[in-house]
Amino acid sequence: MPNTVVPAGLLDRVRSTLALTGAEPTPVHVAAALRADGTICGDAMVLAVVTALRREALGAGPLDSLLAEPGVTDILVNGPDEVYIDRGRGLEFVAIRTGDESAIRRLATRLAAAAGRRLDDSTPYVDVRLADGTRFHAVLAPIAAPGTCLSLRVPSRKVFTLDDLVAAGALPQAGAAILQDLLDSRLAFLISGGTGTGKTTLLNSLLSLANPAERLVLVEDANELRPDHPHVVRLEARPPNIEGSGEISLRDLVRQALRMRPDRLVVGEVRGPEVVDLLTALNTGHEGGCGTIHANSASDVPARLEALGALAGLSQSAVQSQAASALHAVIHLTRTPTGHRRITEIHTLSKPPNGPLTTHPAVTFHPDNTLTLHPPSRLFTTPAQATPAGAA
């Protein structure tokens, strides 16, 4: 039976016996291995061993049931039987048997190998996308303590609409109308926030609202964006191989995307020197471009852009000038300690002739699901776009 507990030592001995004979983990072969081990057990133990061995060989092993559970966004393994999940309400411990440290290490190396990457003592960490779209990160012991650590980011099975986000309390209905106007006006924007705040979810929602006649070219480190749109082209970066060659960077892909006639150029996450190519593109007639960026607040985005631009050798003043003319808005998201994600503010950007790049509040979204507008703002060029302060 699936609930039968298999002693770790017994599982190791059966695994070794099957490896020596080259036999598959079928009930017949497992029963024979148990007899050879001198273990007397019933059908329930045989089936439990078969189930455990098949889980090791297929999918994500003991984590498969969590990956299939609706609402789970993250799975974290800190060591043997120490597993946490996030269903959007913060981390919670789950009682699940992962096996010992060696079992977790085997799972990590197998998942990495399935994605074409090496994971061993010489390369003790890996960050890959699995075949089902799950983002998988692992760090082996002793680099990770007390044992091998796994992190899995589960892709959303649903593209949330703005109405869904309104229903979830992420923003008020009037805020959804403002975002729709921003998209329809083909303004360039960045979505900022910390890890797990819902940046990709919001970008998916907005891209799904783009004109069906538009061609969207998505550039990503790992394929996470899945907008509900009829014309989408995806470009995915590639890390170097074991020999250190074959890398295709986000910067390479942004340059290639510009030759593919994009109506909207989208960078899933701006986090390196590719920011220079994105800003250049937005300043040369490619309207409506967008992406996400890690920042603690909308007002921190200029400093973040300057830091990323420095990686490409661009001066602070050059980054500021490029960003001021290329970007129209920053949409910022936060996540509360209870796991609730919501949009908190929209800022515009400007740079006076002799001053730094700064952001200015255009809309503030309050926890009570009201909002405040801060005109004058180039987001509100017509009376129809403006909503009275405090409107729901």
pLDDT at 385: 39
What is the pairing mode between strands 264-267 and 216-220? parallel
Q: What is the mean pLDDT of residues 254-281?
A: 93
349-to-137, 198, 298, 325, 385 alpha-carbon distances in Å: 35, 22, 10, 9, 19
Q: What is the mean pLDDT of residues 177-204?
A: 94
Q: Do 306 and 319 touch, CB atoms closer than 8 A?
A: yes
Is the predicted pLDDT of residue 9 greater than 90, yes or no?
A: no
Predicted confidence band at 354 (pLDDT cuts at 50, 70, 90)?
confident
Residues whose CB is less than 8 angstroms from the CB of residue 381 and which lie 6 or more positions away in sequence, other chains included: none
pLDDT at 114: 82
Is the predicted pLDDT of residue 40 greater than 80, yes or no?
A: no
Q: Side-chain half-sphere of 363: how many Cα atoms within 13 Å? A: 31
Among the residue ranges 29-38, 143-152, 243-252, 331-340, the one predicted with the least confidence is 29-38
> Order of strands across the sheet with 149-153?
91-94, 82-86, 74-79, 149-153, 135-139, 125-129
pLDDT in tens, 10-37: 877 887 787 777 777 788 888 888 888 8
The rounded Cα 149 to chain-centroid distance in angstroms is 18
Is the predicted pLDDT of residue 390 greater than 70, yes or no?
A: no
* Angstrom distance (rounded) from CA 240 to CA 226: 25
Beta-carbon neighbour count of residue 390 at 10 Å? 12
Q: Which structure tokens are listed for 316?
A: 């602070």
Is the predicted pLDDT of residue 180 greater than 90, yes or no?
A: yes
Residue % of the chain over a pLDDT of 70: 93
- The topology (CATH level 3) of 59-155 is Beta-Lactamase (3.30.450)
Is the predicted pLDDT of residue 348 greater than 70, yes or no?
A: yes
* Closest to 73 measured CA to CA, from 132, 127, 151, 137: 151
pLDDT at 389: 47
Q: Which structure tokens are listed for 258?
A: 């510009």
Please state whether 121 falls in left (phi above 0), alpha (psi between -120 and 50) or beta.
Answer: alpha
pLDDT at 37: 80
Beta-carbon neighbour count of residue 235 at 10 Å? 20
Is the predicted pLDDT of residue 267 greater than 90, yes or no?
A: yes
pLDDT at 388: 44
Residues whose CB is less than 8 angstroms from the CB of residue 87 and which lie 6 or more positions away in sequence, other chains included: 71, 72, 73, 339
Predicted confidence band at 189 (pLDDT cuts at 50, 70, 90)?
very high
* Angstrom distance (rounded) from CA 39 to CA 176: 64
Residue found under tokens 């989208």 = 266
* Angstrom distance (rounded) from CA 276 to CA 66: 39
Predicted confidence band at 244 (pLDDT cuts at 50, 70, 90)?
confident
Q: Considering the chain, what is the average pLDDT of its residues?
A: 87
Q: Which residue has the higher pLDDT, 392 or 31?
A: 31
pLDDT at 246: 86
Q: Which structure tokens are listed for 205?
A: 């929602």
H or E segment at 139?
strand 135-139
* Closest to 12 measured CA to CA, from 103, 143, 148, 127: 103
Q: What is the mean pLDDT of residues 360-376?
A: 91
Helices (H) and strands (E) in the chain, counts: 12, 15
pLDDT at 264: 96
* Closest to 50 measured CA to CA, from 74, 25, 20: 25
338-to-91, 197, 334, 335, 376 alpha-carbon distances in Å: 9, 12, 11, 8, 35
Domain 162-385 is found in CATH 3.40.50.700: no
Is the predicted pLDDT of residue 288 greater than 50, yes or no?
A: yes
pLDDT in tens, 75-107: 999 999 899 999 878 899 999 888 889 889 999
Predicted confidence band at 380 (pLDDT cuts at 50, 70, 90)?
low
Q: Which residue has the higher pLDDT, 381 or 292?
A: 292
Query: What is the DSSP annotation of 125-138?
Result: EEEEE-TTS-EEEE
Residues whose CB is less than 8 angstroms from the CB of residue 207 and which lie 6 or more positions away in sequence, other chains included: 216, 225, 227, 229, 264, 266, 290
pLDDT at 105: 94
